[in-house]
Structure 1
Amino acid sequence: MHTEPPQYPAALGECSGRVAGSAHTRVLVYEPGPAGLRTSRWVTEHRAQLVDALDRSGAVLVRRAIDSPGALDEVAACVGGELLDYTERSTPRSRVGGHVYTSTEYPAAQTIVQHNESAYARSYPRWLFFAALETAATGGETPLADSRAMVRQLPRELVDRFREKGVRYSRTYREGMGLTWQEAFQTDDPLQVERYCEEHGIEHAWTADALRTRQYGPALIAHPHTGEESWFNQAHLFHSSNLPREVTEALAELYPAEDMPRAAHFGDGTEIPDEDMDRIRAAYDACSFAFPWERGDLLLVNNLLVSHGRRPYTGNRRTLVAMAEKVSTRRTGPGSYVFDL
């Protein structure tokens, strides 16, 4: 089922609205008037319309709306309710204050590939809130890609295969190679890590110098109300082909396969071909839409429907993020899953 793009109001309170994007991914953009915007009041008054827009298009951009981490914390809570901590971490971030974090702290020259936040985990945030407090001199956009459009863009046989098999995510946490287990699980207590893994369906084993984990998840998840499927996994991010070939070869000389920092396989343990990853990345490229950040921008994203990434940049860039409403996956039949809303 494919929902036709809705007609949005030309104005929402003191903001004028328009639709931006591509044939695959749409963003509803709101521009405040000359008097500016009292953002917390505005999002509270128009929360129902904003949530409806997020449940349809998947992303809303509000210009000149946020000027501090505290403002982002307040506005995100007005829309999403209780905000979430960043747990079961996959990338380095720092808490700025309250429930506001820096966006992923990777070097400016690197691309952060498209992904739905925490799609490898048993639970994940429904709402993401980004704020641009400082914009890069060049680059630094946050591309968006509609996860429903990804299903339509990918070859049917590939989609069917991933739907049937799901994804297995493997990680090895060790000092000096990506995140340590202490950073990923936000504790120094191995017993707390073991308890977390047992409660969240994560297989785990300690070695002399590391922690190995394995977890399984679906590749596609359907919306319980519309029946539309989202391409909702991070196989392409965990897969060895996400690294430069020389890095993968160097790691293979250092560690056996089971000790690689990250790996992705089909849920039955078989290899995912590099060719599948190439098709998935090409589909993300085709479906992505990016806009230039402006200082003070607020971007609201429905994480269940839209993936995000980051393009390389020059100069200084400060983009913050908050997350709200924990969602989990419910199995409804063989190879069939829905977001448990």
Structure 2
Amino acid sequence: MIAFEEMPLAALHAPLVWRITRGQQAAQATVRDWLAAHRQLYDARLDQYGAVLIRGFAALHAATDFDTVLAAAGADLLDYVGGTSPRRAVCGRVMTATEVPSDYSIPIHQEMSYTANPPERIAFFCVTPAIAGGETTLADMREVTRRIDSGVLQRFRQKGGVQLRRNLPLPEHAALRPGVPKPWTEVFNTTERSAAERAAAMRGWRTQWLDDGSLQLWQDVLPATRVHPRTGDDLWFNQLHIFSPIAALRWARNDGRHALAERIEVALRNTPDRADEVLHGDGTPVSAEDVLHVAEVLDACALPHAWQAGDLLMLDNLLAGHGRRQYSGPRSILAALIGARHSAAPLDAAAARREVSA
């Protein structure tokens, strides 16, 4: 018999912790069946809190365990075509959370929010926590949206939303670019220009090849906020604070990556057309003031989550933002992107209480 207790963090809506109090040694098949039986409650809690952490199962160790548990939760796993973070496939569509170097923090963001069809959820699994640092930061995007200046929100609504223009280099040039640029061969999983063009066209993205072999990519023009399909919350949902060059410069300085900060400054002076850029929907650049304001709000709302081996964390990709702190030593966190779930019948409060005590 498996039992658990719910432990919400007082300072943040996310995550709600399900701490296993009985049945910690349950076999993987038992864990899978238990999660499938509790899927309705799990879904309801994600809509409420934005994130649920399951902690305490000894049988969860590796990518295959993670994949099995996700299947029990009814997860429809997605690929990462068009994504920006360096990742590596591990098992099916289970991948590394990110391979951004450990001396980088990662700002709070929502996964693939620069695309028209982002994942509804993202799941993480801890194989090995870092020796020092490496916490995943979480932010309640309802609180983030409340804190963003109303004038900033209004500008995005009046100017038609937001669009990301990316410059994707050749693999041999990636190390020469500031930041952690992802080659177009990796973004589209091909070495053929024509195949990359077709993949972009299928998603409605405009492309242009530059004389250094890099691919200029204009992604979807999207609203700066999106309405959650079940809660009705209108939430900040974009990554202008990551892709704007001024934000990249701020990020490097805050991390203490001073050599990179100098490279970004030189690149912005000498080759600004090779930098990523964030535009309003009407094609005008987003102001540095607005970018930095948003970045500061997100930083202020970020709270750390320290990992334990075997932790399973599920995030609603609209309600909860995530990031990462710098770290030292080995660290292995896996991730999976999850598409729209099948609708479940609402779970009333009394039923929820019965589920927890079962």
Output the TM-score relative to the length of structure 1. Answer: 0.87
Q: Secondary structure at the match of 1:196?
A: helix
Q: Distance in 1 between the 2:230 and 2:22 partners? A: 39
**Aligned match of 1:179:** 182
CA contact under 8 A between 2:124 and 2:333: conserved in structure 1? yes
From 267, 287, 304, give the equivalent of 2:281.
Answer: 267
* Contact 1:27–1:59 (CA under 8 A) maintained in structure 2: yes
In the alignment, which residue of structure 1 is the partner of 2:31? 39
Question: How big is the shift at 1:326?
Answer: 5.1
Question: Does the alignment pair 1:62 with 2:41?
Answer: no
Deviations 1:282-339 (A, max 9, x none): 2112322222111111101011211100000111111011111159xxxxxxxxxxxx
Q: 1:253 to 1:273 in 2, by over 3 A?
A: closer
Aligned length: 313
1:168 is the counterpart of 2:163: yes
What letter matches 1:214 in structure 2? W
Give unmatched runs, 5+ long, in structure 2: 175-180, 250-260, 342-358
User: Which whole-Å CA distance do the structure 1 matches of 2:200 and 2:129 have between them?
Assistant: 38
1:304 aligns to 2:304 (yes or no) = no
Report the CA distance between 1:172 and its aligned residue.
1.3
Matched residue type, 2:62: S
Offset of residue 217 of structure 1: 1.7
Amino-acid identity (%): 33
Match of 2:355 in 1: none
| Cα drift, residue 195 of structure 1 | 1.8
Runs of 4 or more consecutive aligned structure 1 residues displaced over 6 Å after TM superposition = none
The one-letter amino acid of 1:227's match is G
Deviation at 1:129, TM superposition (A): 1.0
Residue 179 of structure 1: how far off its partner (Å): 1.6
User: As a proportion of its length, which structure holds more helix?
Assistant: 2
Q: Deviations over 1:236-289 (max 9, x none)?
A: 11101222352322212442x3322x2112222222222222221221123222
Read off the aligned partner of 2:56 and give its amino acid letter: R
Separation in 1, partners of 2:88, 2:7: 34
* 2:45 is aligned with 1:53: yes
* 2:207 paired residue number: 204
For 2:316, the aligned partner's letter is N
For residues 232 and 266 of structure 1, what CA distance do their matches in structure 2 show?
14
Partner of 1:246: 262
Change beyond 3 A, Cα 1:121–1:326: farther
Cα RMSD, aligned residues only: 1.9
2:273 pairs with 1:258? yes
Letter in 2 for 1:100: V
Structure 1 unaligned blocks of 5 or more: 1-11, 328-341
Distance (whole Å) between structure 1 residues aligned to residue 317 and residue 22 of structure 2 = 31
**TM-score of the superposed pair, with normalisation by structure 2:** 0.83
Measured after TM superposition, the shift of residue 28 of structure 1 is 0.8
* 102 and 225 in structure 1: CA distance in 2 versus 1, 3 angstrom threshold: closer
